[in-house]
Amino acid sequence: MYQSSTYKLPEKFIPSPLYREVLLPCTFVVLILVSNYLLSSLPNVKLFDLMVFLAGYTLGIRRGITVGIVAWFFYGQINPWGIASAPLLITLMASESVYALAGSLVSKVTHSKKVSVKPGVNHLLFLSAAVIATPIYDIFTNISTGYFWATIAGSSEYGHWIKSALLNPGALFFMLVHIGANAAFFTILGPALAKFIERKVSY
């Protein structure tokens, strides 16, 4: 008699290209969207960046960038804080790529050894990635914000508006929140999730 609990799909039931090119990236995108909505009440505290970093780490920079772009495309349209304009959305997509690049670079550094969940080099690398990539992301997005402000004001003094967007107390505060949240997520959750995902990628 057929028992679903003991039935197993044949090995390689899902073609490997489909699995790596479509199913795994889509899983990352879904996790990003769900976690973003669950954390929507906490500005700049998201798992979004960590997920893109892990996509770059486990799937490579091309798929990591794709995950970030697709996730922002959907989240930018149905964001609880408002719909992102086309120029802002493009900036967010491009800036998010820094996490995929960071993940890819970290994976190359650790390519000769399996990621460990125990405190060690991996945690320092993940922490370094968060502390370096997050300010880069915020600087690029804030520059775009300053340019947008200047355009709305009808001003040609773009430098003034960009400086204001970068250095106003609110921007600095939220940047620190963003860096702190990512540092915690990357260090505490990153290695364990990377180890789990690596097993799935080796399918």
Q: Report pLDDT for 68.
A: 97
Nearest alpha carbon to residue 68 among 43, 50, 88, 86: 50
Question: Do 157 and 111 touch, CB atoms closer than 8 A?
Answer: no
Q: How far apart are CA 155 and CA 171, in angstroms?
A: 21
Question: Do 64 and 196 touch, CB atoms closer than 8 A?
Answer: no
Instruction: Please state, for a pLDDT cut of 70, what percent of the chain lies above it.
Output: 88
Question: Do 184 and 144 touch, CB atoms closer than 8 A?
Answer: no
Nearest alpha carbon to residue 28 among 66, 67, 57: 67
The CATH number of 16-201 is 1.10.1760
Residues of the chain with pLDDT under 50: 1-2, 4-14, 112
Q: Report pLDDT for 197.
A: 86
Q: Report pLDDT for 110.
A: 81
Which are the contacts of 75, defined by CB distance < 8 A and separation ≥ 6?
Answer: 32, 33, 36, 48
Q: Report pLDDT for 121.
A: 84
Question: Do 142 and 44 touch, CB atoms closer than 8 A?
Answer: no
Q: Report pLDDT for 187.
A: 95
